[in-house]
Structure 1
Amino acid sequence: MSLATTTAPRPAPPPLAPGRAPAPGYEVLAHLARTGWLDLYDAWSEERDCRCVVKVLRPDRRDEDRLAERLVREGRWLRRFTHPHLVRAYETFASPEPLVVLETLTGETLAHLIDRLPRRAAAEDVAVLGVQLCSAVHYLHGQGLLHLDLKPANVVVECARAKVLDLSVARAPGAAPAGVGTFGYMSPEQARGGALSAAADVWGIGITLYELATGDLPFDIGDTTDGTTTTDRTPTAGGAAADWYPQLEAPAPPVRARRRLPPALAAAIDGCLRPDPADRPSVSELSAALDTTLRRHRRDTPETG
């Protein structure tokens, strides 16, 4: 009689300790976070004499060429792009290991703000954030890219100014496999796979504003996800489809069913979450609608003092 044995997976090697050099001219100050395939470090740049964020492949994922390509591609995009609502990259290394150096943002992610604030964000703040997200997305679309992973965890807010992070799953419009993006946040067409257009990012803006306004996602995602991108959990060139997506089961409930908002703002958010991408507003139309909401709010709000 023989007993089958199984080998437990090896634990991932520990992050770099403070004082180590992830690349020439950079010193690790602290480990910030570990995702399914990345380590993020608070680091010091000798050349710039300032802190920065270093994004590098986890030690146990360094032999995966497609991940290395994704990281280097993202860094090169962010070095080339210049927009006030996009995070900046200072430097990108392809060897001896892939690494991206980003600016340090002193704010906090929208996800942290949503969890931390005792009350829901003011309607004016929701509209302001929406206008800023539209600006960043409009710029990316002008560069020929869809972001495809807009969500509160990928937006940092600092002094009332938003900056969009993470172009790791960004791609040109067109055909894409099912599951590109984050499980509870991706548009129905991202979940299904097929042709993707600017409307997918309009959905991303809408679902981010919905969560900011209400404190919840419009769909019950249960315990089927940890909030990371599908490609964080099973990285491939395009994504990995799940067995079930709530956004394919039923339309998003109206935002005013969960939070009282000015009608124009509620209509703008609901319009972003229409199941058919052809029925959603364009980025320019959405920005104009949110701007109109702001003007009405400021006109109707009496000044104090």
Structure 2
Amino acid sequence: MTATTRSAPPPPLAPGARPAPGYEVLGHLVRTGWLDLYDAWSAERACRCVVKVLRPDRRGEGDLAERLLREGRWLCGFTHPHLVRGYETFDAPEPVVVLETLTGETLAHLVHRLRRRPAATDVALLGVQLCSAVHYLHGQGLLHLDLKPSNVVVDRGRAKLLDLGLAQPPGPVPPGVGTFSYLAPEQARGDSVTTAVDVWGIGVTLYETATGDVPFDRDTGQGEGQSPGAGRDQDRDRSQDLDPRYPQLEAVAPPVSARRRLPPPLAAAVDGCLRPDPADRPTVARLAAALAALLPGHLPGTG
């Protein structure tokens, strides 16, 4: 076999390694395109935590180091019941971010591996909680820019939003920053983005939660004929396709009711998030109110 391949990156840290003072690796959780995440023990807190570090083969890239540390500083300074908590950051000898350990499962796991189709009220509740987290981020002057089921952990009905690695203030973004099937049209084009971009992200997440599929997919343009989750959730911080043709720039999202029968007010709320023109989408506050009206007792919030 003569195919040439890039050399494999160094293996993850072994159990017992100490990525930062006071933290001991218990096991490796996941490797992304630029990060390693570890299950670790905090001696100071006497509890488990999650440690994020740059992959060994990416440690020389200063922009990635700053991106990791920026996310860690934000999460250490933020306090919200539907955002993951940051405990600590270390600049040296290598950048390290320490986060709380979350129980539960990612929404992506619940939707695709367990193949659960939640009740309409559960979809509405999830939406209210995501609106709450996003409203808080917007109040801090940030857009999330990568809302999707794999960035949400759910435990006993409570959702927490993860990963501020792409977060930035409103303004211009390079074309394609985010994850292919979850990009708002203005995000795919590289236009100036506003809070409406995260409303789109909430809408796509609720659409996939309710139906098991995204409205737009890489291969078909409409998400049909694909195995659940196929090709959707790659680590994408810039446009990397040789021919990045975004179906969300060429068609309107199919109504969610075409995939699953939902209460009309819920279907209307989801469809409203996916209007091509950002000005036509509801504000986060209006979306939260519409979804909260579907919950028992018409609760205004779920914090």
When the two structures are superposed, what TM-score results if normalisation uses the length of structure 1? 0.90
2:235 corresponds to 1:229: yes
2:99 corresponds to 1:78: no
When residues 92 and 119 of structure 1 are mapped into structure 2, their CA distance, relative to the original with a 3 A threshold, is closer
Counterpart secondary structure, 1:252: coil
Q: How does 1:11-160 map to 2 (within 5 A)?
A: 11-160=8-157
* Count of equivalent residues: 287
> How far, CA to CA, are the matches of 1:46 and 1:82 in structure 2?
23
> How far, CA to CA, are the matches of 1:254 and 1:297 in structure 2?
25
Deviation, 1:116, is 3.3
User: Which amino acid in 2 is paired with 1:240?
Assistant: S
Deviation, 1:258, is 0.5
Deviation, 1:280, is 0.2
Q: Where does residue 180 of structure 1 map in the other structure?
A: 177
Post-superposition CA distance 1:41-87 (Å, at most 9, x none): 00000010000000000000000000000000000000000000000
Q: Where does residue 289 of structure 1 map in the other structure?
A: 290
> How far, CA to CA, are the matches of 2:232 and 2:215 in structure 1?
17
CA contact (8 A) 2:152 2:161 kept: yes
> How far, CA to CA, are the matches of 2:232 and 2:125 in structure 1?
29
When residues 49 and 217 of structure 1 are mapped into structure 2, their CA distance, relative to the original with a 3 A threshold, is same
Q: Where does residue 239 of structure 2 map in the other structure?
A: 240
CA contact (8 A) 2:27 2:40 kept: yes
> How far, CA to CA, are the matches of 2:291 and 2:232 in structure 1?
31
User: Which amino acid in 1 is paired with 2:112?
Assistant: D
> How far, CA to CA, are the matches of 2:261 and 2:26 in structure 1?
44
User: Which amino acid in 2 is paired with 1:256?
Assistant: S
CA contact (8 A) 1:180 1:190 kept: yes
User: Which amino acid in 2 is paired with 1:76?
Assistant: R
User: Which amino acid in 2 is paired with 1:67?
Assistant: L
Counterpart secondary structure, 2:15: coil
User: Which amino acid in 1 is paired with 2:263?
Assistant: P
> How far, CA to CA, are the matches of 2:103 and 2:139 in structure 1?
28
When residues 106 and 119 of structure 1 are mapped into structure 2, their CA distance, relative to the original with a 3 A threshold, is closer
When residues 203 and 226 of structure 1 are mapped into structure 2, their CA distance, relative to the original with a 3 A threshold, is closer
User: Which amino acid in 2 is paired with 1:230?
Assistant: R
When residues 150 and 292 of structure 1 are mapped into structure 2, their CA distance, relative to the original with a 3 A threshold, is same
Identity %: 71
User: Which amino acid in 1 is paired with 2:163?
Assistant: D
Q: Where does residue 234 of structure 1 map in the other structure?
A: none
CA contact (8 A) 1:124 1:297 kept: no
Deviation, 1:6, is 9.0
Structure ID, larger Rg: 1
Q: Where does residue 303 of structure 1 map in the other structure?
A: none
Q: Where does residue 222 of structure 2 map in the other structure?
A: none
Q: Where does residue 268 of structure 2 map in the other structure?
A: 267
User: Which amino acid in 1 is paired with 2:117?
Assistant: R
2:192 corresponds to 1:195: yes
When residues 241 and 58 of structure 1 are mapped into structure 2, their CA distance, relative to the original with a 3 A threshold, is closer
Counterpart secondary structure, 1:244: coil
Counterpart secondary structure, 1:184: helix
2:165 to 168, 180, 187: 168
User: Which amino acid in 2 is paired with 1:271?
Assistant: G
> How far, CA to CA, are the matches of 2:118 and 2:27 in structure 1?
31
> How far, CA to CA, are the matches of 1:30 and 1:144 in structure 2?
35
CA contact (8 A) 2:218 2:232 kept: no
Post-superposition CA distance 1:246-293 (Å, at most 9, x none): 211201100000100000000000000001101000000000000112
Q: Which 10-residue stretch deviates more, 73-82 or 19-28?
A: 19-28
